[in-house]
């Protein structure tokens, strides 16, 4: 046997690796030989470890080539861990510490000081972070991208630190930082002139901020979602000076009306995306007709929740020929006629969101199938009037369909038979479709082998056989929702063990499953990260042991109402190394000591816990303090505490 490395030089190997995206494939590649391992080591630019344990080894292996480090999934990450994890001579450009609530400004300071080339930092959703953390991050003067979404304590002062410290910033996300005001935004606009992307969604800022932002000459992407104090005047400011804008999101700005949107359309000739969903609901014809000025560039238009008469949709169809994506979710008054006029003009549409357009019938699907053959994503939730005829037409014409949402559409097995012709299907949502049974799922399992996500929420007709066909066919499944499919038993669950890549599994309210089913399932589904076992009353400690033993990547777990005892809980929480979020309400068989010990054993890892409020007073204050000190968020459910043990 000739040595494969002679044929495959390292740069050829690197080119091969360029095409490998799946972590499993990369893993098997690494295992081929030392040379392959070396090649992979040279090639890899980013890692996202799930645990801290192997991190030092990984970092040693990839030390110099690594550019991006994502620590957002690591539990028990704190300042010490962070400082010892990061190798000192490194080329890291990007670090993500999203939801790393255990880290403080000290850790950030170290991070910034040891990563001289750092360009992107993500500390979003660290809700305890404030100005001090922002100040620590601001020391990275070369920063180009920063996300501090939902760092709730960050005020104008923190933003000013960032603005002054990182004047080369190009992308900034300060969504949900509710303490930031117009003053801070004004300073930001004066200091960071390179800004291209800015997200100020849900801030309590007003038109003055937009006046400041208008001076940013390079701004391309601006998100203003839910800025309730912004109105048409603000958009007018924005339109007056800034012409570089390409993407604007003013959804949920309740005070923005058609007049403001019109000034936007007139003022910005290069807009690619407009999201005006859930603004002031009445849309005037002026705005729609002004869209013709953007006809060349506009790709994405979202008008969710607005009132769109036929004429408006027709004008959109005529004016926006290059539209790729349209959002019409919850638009009152959207009819088949409107849709047909729209799709006549916009034949390139690939994503069509018609969620809750209750008036639509098969006619709409016929016109979509006739005009938009390239549709990839079709959302039809709650379009109760559609039937298998329309879907048949869509499935025939749109062979490229990747995502379809039929939640609450009353589709049946024959519709699934039609849909199964779309072999490219990745996401299929059939929630609340009680007509879907094993027969339909058998078609899906046979033909849609690339399915990644399947939602069978309350599809009560589905039984174990349906799961068997899905498990046998759709081996790449990552997300499966079987909530309240109460005909499923342990046998069905056992079939799921074939889904090795399954990461999200929801089994809520399937009362018949027991620990043996859980055990059988977990033995195969080693990649599980999220599991919902709420109201699976028959699952007991044995199930917990199985989880503790096999699902070592489990991050999010709901075991409310299970018959778990303190012993099982302690073992579970102590063993799961990645566990971060546990909902354990109504565990009547767990004593207070059981809760105490279990929580102590997982104290460093947990970021989110849901408990009965009765425990608030009986758990030791030290425990609660140390949980909260590490940024763990405890949600107390106000219901009586019952102990049956």
Binding site for another protein (CB under 8 A): 78-80, 83, 104-106, 109-110, 113, 130-132, 135, 138, 156-157, 160-161, 164-165, 183-184, 186-187, 190-191, 600, 603-604, 622-623, 625-626, 629-630
Paired tokens of 562 = 């299970």
Q: Which is nearer to another protein, 105 or 537 (CB)?
A: 105
Q: Which is nearer to another protein, 184 or 226 (CB)?
A: 184
Give the SS3 label for residue 448: coil
| Residue 428 host element (H or E) | strand 427-429
CA dihedral 604, 606, 611, 613 (to 10 degrees): 50
For the CB of residue 235, give the shortest distance to another protein in the complex, in Å.
Answer: 24
For the CB of residue 544, give the shortest distance to another protein in the complex, in Å.
Answer: 22
Q: Which is nearer to another protein, 45 or 190 (CB)?
A: 190
Radius of gyration over every alpha carbon of the chain, rounded to an integer in angstroms: 27
Smallest CA-to-CA distance from 73 within 26, 122, 118 is with 122
- The torsion region of residue 260 among left (phi > 0), alpha (psi -120 to 50) and beta comes to alpha
For the CB of residue 213, give the shortest distance to another protein in the complex, in Å.
Answer: 15
For the CB of residue 51, give the shortest distance to another protein in the complex, in Å.
Answer: 17
For the CB of residue 241, give the shortest distance to another protein in the complex, in Å.
Answer: 18
Paired tokens of 142 = 């070369």
For the CB of residue 163, give the shortest distance to another protein in the complex, in Å.
Answer: 8
How far apart, in Å, do the first and last CA atoms of the chain sit? 65
Q: Which is nearer to another protein, 10 or 215 (CB)?
A: 215
Smallest CA-to-CA distance from 208 within 179, 194, 178, 187 is with 187
Smallest CA-to-CA distance from 349 within 373, 328, 383 is with 373
For the CB of residue 215, give the shortest distance to another protein in the complex, in Å.
Answer: 12
Q: Which is nearer to another protein, 114 or 266 (CB)?
A: 114
Q: Look-up: residue for tokens 């004008």?
A: 315
For the CB of residue 292, give the shortest distance to another protein in the complex, in Å.
Answer: 40
- For 262, other C-beta atoms within 10 Å of its C-beta total 21
What CA–CA distances, in Å, run from 403 to 6, 363, 407, 421? 43, 20, 12, 13
Paired tokens of 597 = 């010990």
Percentages helix, strand, coil for the chain, rounded to the nearest 5? 40, 15, 50
Q: Which is nearer to another protein, 78 or 540 (CB)?
A: 78
Paired tokens of 79 = 């300042």
Are residues 213 and 189 in contact, defined by beta-carbon separation less than 8 angstroms?
yes
Paired tokens of 644 = 């049956």
Are residues 398 and 373 in contact, defined by beta-carbon separation less than 8 angstroms?
yes
For the CB of residue 181, give the shortest distance to another protein in the complex, in Å.
Answer: 8
Taking the C-alpha atoms of residue 84 and residue 354, their distance in angstroms, rounded to an integer, is 50
For the CB of residue 79, give the shortest distance to another protein in the complex, in Å.
Answer: 5
Q: Which is nearer to another protein, 539 or 611 (CB)?
A: 611
DSSP annotation of 302 reads E
Q: Which is nearer to another protein, 128 or 309 (CB)?
A: 128
Are residues 272 and 297 in contact, defined by beta-carbon separation less than 8 angstroms?
yes
Q: Which is nearer to another protein, 208 or 506 (CB)?
A: 208
Q: Which is nearer to another protein, 160 or 308 (CB)?
A: 160
């Amino acid at each position: 046997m000739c040595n494969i490395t002679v044929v495959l030089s390292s740069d050829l190997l690197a080119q091969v690796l360029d095409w490998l995206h799946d972590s499993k494939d990369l893993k098997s590649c690494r295992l081929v030989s030392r040379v392959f391992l070396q090649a992979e080591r040279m090639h890899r630019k980013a890692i996202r470890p799930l645990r801290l344990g192997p991190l030092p080894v990984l970092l040693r292996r990839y030390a110099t080539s690594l550019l991006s480090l994502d620590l957002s999934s690591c539990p028990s990450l704190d300042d010490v861990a962070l400082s010892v994890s990061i190798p000192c001579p490194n080329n890291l450009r990007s670090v993500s510490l999203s939801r790393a609530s255990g880290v403080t400004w000290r850790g950030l300071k170290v991070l910034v000081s040891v990563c001289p080339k750092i360009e992107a930092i993500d500390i979003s959703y660290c809700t305890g972070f404030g100005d001090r953390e922002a100040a620590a991050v601001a020391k990275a003067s070369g920063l180009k991208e920063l996300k501090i979404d939902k760092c709730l304590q960050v005020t104008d002062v923190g933003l000013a630190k960032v603005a002054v410290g990182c004047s080369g910033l190009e992308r900034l996300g300060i969504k949900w930082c509710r303490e930031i005001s117009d003053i801070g935004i004004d300073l930001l606009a004066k200091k960071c002139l390179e800004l291209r992307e800015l997200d100020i969604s849900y801030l309590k800022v007003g038109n003055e901020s937009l006046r400041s932002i208008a001076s940013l000459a390079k701004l391309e992407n601006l998100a203003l979602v839910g800025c309730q104090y912004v109105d048409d005047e603000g958009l007018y400011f924005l339109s007056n000076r800034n012409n570089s804008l390409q993407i604007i999101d003013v959804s949920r700005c309740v005070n923005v009306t058609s007049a403001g949107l019109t000034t936007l359309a007139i003022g910005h000739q290069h807009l690619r995306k407009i999201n005006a969903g859930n603004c002031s609901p009445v849309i005037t014809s002026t705005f729609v007709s002004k869209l013709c000025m953007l006809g060349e560039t506009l790709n994405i238009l979202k008008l969710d929740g607005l009132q769109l008469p036929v004429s408006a949709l027709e004008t959109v169809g005529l004016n926006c020929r290059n539209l790729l994506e349209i959002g019409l979710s919850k638009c009152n008054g959207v009819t088949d006629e409107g849709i047909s006029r729209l799709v006549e003009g916009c034949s390139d549409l690939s994503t069509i969101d018609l969620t809750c357009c209750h008036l639509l019938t098969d006619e709409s699907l016929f016109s979509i199938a006739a005009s938009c053959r390239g549709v990839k994503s079709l959302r039809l939730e709650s379009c109760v009037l559609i039937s298998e005829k329309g879907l048949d037409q869509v499935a025939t014409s749109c062979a490229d369909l990747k995502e379809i949402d039929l939640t609450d559409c009353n589709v049946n097995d024959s519709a699934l038979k039609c849909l199964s012709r779309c072999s490219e299907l990745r996401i299929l949502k059939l929630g609340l479709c009680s007509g879907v049974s094993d027969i339909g799922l058998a078609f899906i399992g046979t033909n849609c082998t690339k399915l990644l996500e399947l939602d069978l929420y309350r599809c009560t007709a589905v039984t174990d056989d349906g799961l068997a066909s899905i498990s046998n066919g759709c081996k790449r499944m990552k997300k499966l929702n079987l909530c309240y499919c109460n005909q499923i038993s342990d046998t069905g669950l056992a079939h799921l063990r074939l889904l090795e890549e399954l990461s999200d599994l929801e089994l809520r309210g399937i009362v018949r499953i027991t620990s043996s089913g859980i055990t059988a399932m977990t033995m195969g589904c080693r990649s599980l990260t999220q599991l919902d076992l709420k109201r699976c009353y028959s699952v007991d400690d044995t199930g917990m042991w199985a989880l503790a033993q096999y699902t070592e990547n489990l991050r999010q777990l709901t075991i409310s109402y299970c018959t778990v005892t303190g012993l099982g809980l302690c073992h579970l929480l102590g063993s799961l190394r990645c566990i971060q979020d546990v909902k354990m309400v109504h565990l009547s068989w767990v004593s207070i000591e059981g809760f105490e010990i279990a929580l102590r054993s997982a104290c460093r890892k947990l970021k989110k816990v849901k408990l009965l409020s009765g425990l608030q007073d009986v758990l030791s204050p030290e425990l609660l303090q140390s949980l909260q000190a590490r940024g763990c968020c405890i949600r107390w459910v106000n219901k009586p505490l019952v102990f049956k043990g």
